[in-house]
Structure 1
Amino acid sequence: MKESDYSNYVKAFSRLFEAYDAAEPYLDLGEDFKYFIGRKRNWLERLKSPEFPVAFLGAFSAGKSTIINAVLGDDILPQATKSFTAIPTLIRRGKLNRAVIHYLDEAEREELKCLYVEELAKELRKPSDGYQKLGNSELMGKLTKDIEQHRSQFGSFNKQKFFDELKVLVAGWNKLTGAVKEIALADLTGYVTEDYEDVLFVDKAEIYLADVNIPENVVLVDLPGLGVVNPRHRKVTKSYVENDAKAFVIAMKVFHLLEGEEIELLAEVHSQRKRVLQRAFWVINQWDVLSLQHKKEELANFEEKIEHYGFHIAKDRVFRVSALNYLLLKLIQDGKLEKSGKIREHVDALEKAIGKIPVRGEAENYIRSLEEAKSFALFRAHLFEYLANTARAEFLEEARSEYQDLANRLRDKLEPLFQSYKNKSDDGMKNSFIAGELSKRQHDIIERLRDTVEEHVKQLRTEVLPDFEFWREQDQAQLAEQITMAIDGLDRKALKNELLKGLDSHSVVSRLPHKIEENLRIQNTFRAQLQKLLEDQIVRQYLRQLLDAITQVDALPEELMESLQDRLSGRDMLNRLKGMCDVFLFDYGNIIDELGRAIMTSLSGAEARQEPNLVELLQKNADAALEIAKSMNLVGPNDNVKQMLALGLDKLNQIHGALAAGAKQAKGVTRRSNDIDYALDYYKGGLLDYTRKQQEQINKYARRGIKNYFEELEEELLAYFDAQKGEIAKVIMQRLTSDIDNELGAEMEKQKVIKEAYQVVTQRIA
């Protein structure tokens, strides 16, 4: 296939993407379509640097490495004593001989972890989702516990190796993440086999060879074996078999034909996609070690297994070879055997096959005459011929299909606009443009206004109000401080003087709360603080935010904005709160009455409790009472208090009367003074307790009232915008016609781009 075939497709795809990029700003495209475009862009890179991977798969010891080396004609891949792991090894032509090791990045490690977890969850009979959402530390703890429980319940756990590898992965999670390391070809063995301690973290190895006889675009891929634990093996291999590889080679060895997990995977893929095997080449290696009888038996065995799996295989795709003998002869022919590594140790196999070790000039003849070597050469020639013709033709046909799919999808997006612009005069285009733009912009502005209001109210309803505290602890403390300062700051002398007038001091003191309220108006303080909180927390914040958001739409006439500013000033909400304040303070008068009655009851009870009997009174002032009794000759000059208290009730009353006469007035003033202070403190405590109890109610009803207000406001504003569509249209029309030349210029450019893009996507591929 000519190089120009690729360049033609590159140009064709490039024209489509140039047309798309130009038209994209004018198209209403969703994320799905943009993702579709992104995937199609990958075809540009694939066409600029086309590659045709040939995947080699087969069970361990099937001789894959030897077969690949024989295809290369050189001893490149190491002859591993252990299975290669989850490390595809890609071999392609390059300017220098070198190898590059790529380590798993973060996403690839996460993918591998998930694959391990799925396997473990399946064995534990638990859904994997419960594990996948856990962090690494929690995950390992949970799995350890569940595995112990499973082993205790069932006596064994069959996926311990999976868990062991997962532990290694998690323990070294950040080791060499996304690293790329260049190494010498001779060191490759140390990185791609199970002996490498960090093999679990390797993604792939790439080998570049400067002097190798393979087509430039061909990439040989040595796939990881499936016989080990790493679950990424199967996923990588299946991806190559199903999609990535343009051809694949099934490596088998005699006595073990069509065995191993690789063949089971191939059968699984074949059952779903029959065409996959059309890309397969079947290579039976080590055919030279068989006797004629064994060869007949192995051929019968092969036919039997082909029938068992339901494979349909063309006979010219089955090759019975000795990759080792072909490679040895090729190395001798090219004069490289002496410089090769361990492959030289196997020359006795070649000597056994032809009776001697040929010299360089004889090697080419033996490649043509030795049956198994000749068969390998035929396999190699057919493989490269298939890639050069059939595979490349299929690749270009796939490119054509992808191109046509992209062109059709772009045409569908452009068609409505193209048809609307088709066959329009300048005047018709102008009128149509103005009418269309007017309708579109009016609709867009109304929708923006609606979205602004609805989003604002939704945020208030769902994010702000559920935990909203209108009357907070600091607000309660501020009110308590104001009440305390107001009561403690009273002119107590004037208040006492007024309360001491009259005979019934208790009755006057009980009316003290009403007298204080008449002077201080505590309920006004309460109401004023509520209203200030509303203005600070709601009006200034949320109503003004809403007004600012509406203003940014910048499409409302000035008189409509003035109307909205008035509507969103907070006046209505303040009026609503004033009504709420009246509800909160509805029983305030009753509370004042209750406080007065409580004060009177408390004082009366205190007096009753504090009225001592006659003996107790005289005992408190025993010395003074004894002197009075002596002066009144009620007791002798040498009598004591005990003898005084033994006097009769009449004499004791005389002593008490004389004792109390001197202190009567002072005693009355002190008591009344104490009553007033007690009443003030009782009133202050009762009022603070009342306002504290109101705090929960205030928050409950204020939250509900604010929610109801904004929902009513939302309905009112949405109806208002709909009613003002005509006024909004006038503003749009004025702006549109005032700059019609620029507007039309932009529209003309848009139409030009759409028409040109439509023309490109409807052209046939060159």
Structure 2
Amino acid sequence: MSHPLSPQCQNLQHQVESLVKLLHQEPSLRQQDITAVNASLKKVISPKFEIVFAGAFSAGKSMLINALLERELLYSAEGHATGTECYIDYAEPDQERVVLTFLSEAEIREQVASLCQLLGLSSNVNINRNDMIDILVEGCAKIIQQEGGVNKSERAKQAKALDLLIKGFTENRDRIQTLNNATYSMEQFNFSNLKEAASYARRGSNSAVLKRIEYYCYHPLLQDGNVIIDTPGIDAPVAKDAQLTYNKIEHPDTSAVVCVLKPASAGEMTIEETELLEIIRKNPSIRDRVFYIFNRIDETWYNAQLRQRLDNLIYSDFQDTTRVYKTSGLLGFYGSQIKGTSGRDRFGLDSIFAESIKGLGGEEETPQFVYAFNQYCAFSRKLPVQFQLTFNAYESPNQNYTRVLADWGQPLIDQLIKDSGIEDFRTAITYYLTEEKRPQLFKNLADDLEDICIPLRKYYESIEMDLDSQPREIEAMKALELQLLNQQLQEAGQEFRDHITEEINQIITSKCDSFEQDFKQLESRMVRRLDELLDGFSVKEAYSRATFNHSRNATAPLLAVLVEALYYLANQLEDILVESVKSVNAGFFRRLVEKVRKTEYYRKLNRLLGNDGGLEKRLKELEAEVNQALIAMAKTECDRYVRESPKFYDEGTFSIYQFRQTLLQTSSSYDVKAIVDAEPAIRQF
């Protein structure tokens, strides 16, 4: 039966994700590792409980699993040493399926060599040669005959295992790959349902060459993520098969370990079983999840010595655990199967046991379960007094079986199943998984969440303390906020002033490379322009401008020509200087604005006010003001070109001498020719 989450946990995933989101919102907490939280949450939302069945070969693991699930899934032949790992997972009735994974040829060769070595046969065998296969099969048959039957000795069981392995390889050769493990769905085998696929997998020779079988079937025990795993025997002929079982037992994801033990039928623990118990007892993490099952308990009902030895063993070696159960997988499984039968099919003889009752000579054989059932009814002393059963010596076992069931029917079957111990074990492991393991998942999640909740709580508590320490009255809070804002704005303003001062000092001390470069370009332009003006100077044009400005006169004196020349030079230089200082000023303020935008006080203003507080606008206005001042200074500077130097007229100087000589030359006539002829001398001024 499925166990849904409690109402307070229905939205658990969203709640946990909300906590993680809060964690990631805080920069100081983002580095917190949430891997464990995610893993625990996944296990809570989609739990997976692996129930590992472990034990020696022939302990009855497969039959016990079949009994738990009330359907025949696993191969359960006595003495069959399969190394197959079986997984049984949940599926809805219309989704049941089987996935089969085969051993590779290399793995089969390894197992064949190992078994041959144990049996004293030649291990240098080519299993792809039919003659070699025939020799092995014949050798196995001889060993079984020598031992007196398949179940008479370990050697006979090993021979049977080798025989099945060889036959399985031969029958499935087209499905087995050389080095890889081939996987097939049941549709690839043309199986229409789980029963057909399971029947194929249960066949001894097929099971022998299967590495892994995955069953997906419907049963309430498998709901809530429960997965049953049947592992190879701990005494497997191939060592790595046994190691696979130990690895599953010790794996942290294993939720429960079911140790199926043989003492109920064997009278004592095997060496491998004793070693397994020692490993479990030395590991507390394993010990707390182990169930001990003494299977084939029905054999102790008829043998007082076996019963006493088992009781002594449990008393001496299993006092430290309450998870000890006695079961009969055979009675429990077939008891569940015959519940749906009736006298019409002779309570399963003509349906469930139809194949097994066919004798070689046409006579009807007696199934193993019928023998066990009759013994239970006649000699177990387990039945309550209301069941007054009789068995007739003149009737066959099958006839006694059908007559007793016809008389007592379902109540007797229910009592049989109860005495098999299967229901008690199923109830116990279901309770363990739902009431112990499932709550443990929530506890683990809670423990992992604690690692992120504690830092979150401390963080929010610190914020709360900060808020508590601040004024609670609105006006007081406003005043405090304004005071804080004013302080921060003053700090930003001071930083701005310091920055501007630093920039100006850089220019004054010639440490601003970009400004120095612009200024040198200005000087260069001024020099080039002056050279251009001097090279292009024309006395005739200067004379024309002088006479134009005095239209009543037909001629102009030398002084008038010099005046026009000086005004022309000064005005042309002023134009280029004004243009250059504008460019230098624009470059300076452009770079200044870029630097301001990158400062912390600029970012602070934007955080506090949502804008720059008019900083860039004021810089633009300042740029215009500086521009006007520079233009005025440029004009003043160029006006100086119009005025003569005071020393120009000093007696004895070359300049006054040259002036007089030029004046003599230009005064020789009153027309323009005399002025033009004196152009070289005039240029000297």
TM-score range, shorter chain: 0.3 to 0.5
Q: Name the structure where helix makes up a greater proportion of residues.
A: 1
TM-score by length of 1: 0.41
Q: Which has the higher contact order (CA 8 A, sep 6+)?
A: 1
TM-score by length of 2: 0.46
Larger radius of gyration: 2
